[in-house]
Every structure is written in C-alpha cells, then in structure tokens.
Structure 1
Amino acid sequence: MPTPVSERVQKRRDTLRAAGLRPVQIWVPDTRRPGFAAECRRQAALVAQADQLDTGLSDFMDAALADLDEWK
C-alpha cells in the first residue's frame, strides 16, 4: 500500500531539517488581483521619473558595473 501523502511530506520536511534547513513562509503580491498591473505601471512610472531627476545615478551605476568587472 502506498505511503500517505502526509507521511511523505513529513519525511521530506524531516530530511530538510536534518540538513540544517528550516521552513519559511513568504507572502507575495497576488498578480491576479484587479488593479495589480495598474499599480505596477504606477510604481514603474515613479521610479522612471526619479531616475530622470537623479543626474548622478547613471554615473554611479556605471562605476558600480565597472567595479564588478574588476572582480573577475
């Protein structure tokens, strides 16, 4: 007779815990919710506007990228 799902799940959880891991619950935005896409567009527009107003941002990002290139 096959092992019940709850026992298999518990066995897997026990194995992961024995490996030093622990379960974490993460809540994320519901992308199916009405208005989600509109809110994404609104926030993206705010970020784009802030980027245009920050004249030093591009220089900072270029310097950070160059710094990463040196890590190779």
Structure 2
Amino acid sequence: MDSSANKKCRQYSVEYLSYSFIPPPQNPSMAFRLNCMKMFSNESMRLSKMKKHLDSAHPDKKDKLLGYYQDL
C-alpha cells in the first residue's frame, strides 16, 4: 500500500492567522509565514508546530493579538 495515499492534506484555516500564517494564492495547500516570509509544507500545518515555530523563532511576536496580523 502506498503511504502517500494515506497522508492527510490539510487545508488552510482562519485559526492559522493567529500564528501569522496565511495561504499563498499560488498554492493554498501550503502555509506562508508573514514574520519570516517562508513557505511551510503540509506537514508543518499543525497548530502545535505553528505555535512551536512562533515561540522559538519569533518570541517577541508570540503575544500579539489577531488584529496585529489582520492589519499586515
């Protein structure tokens, strides 16, 4: 059995904006990080991984409110 057939393809959720991730127009199955301008794969589109990235790579932005990211 092909393991790639069993992978879950995550779709963008508005909840991701709280961690400053937006869907790139060219590929909505990936996540784009506003703070570091990097693209993240489907595997990284877990809230726990997004929170960990925010806490470790951008600790100064981890307490920002959702409105901060909506205004960017």
Fold-level match, TM-score > 0.5?
A: no
* TM-score, normalization by structure 1: 0.26
* TM-score, normalization by structure 2: 0.26
**Relative contact order: is structure 1 or structure 2 higher (C-alpha 8 Å, sep ≥ 6)?**
2
Larger radius of gyration: 1
Query: Per residue, is there more helix in 1 or in 2?
Result: 1
Query: Per residue, is there more strand in 1 or in 2?
Result: 2
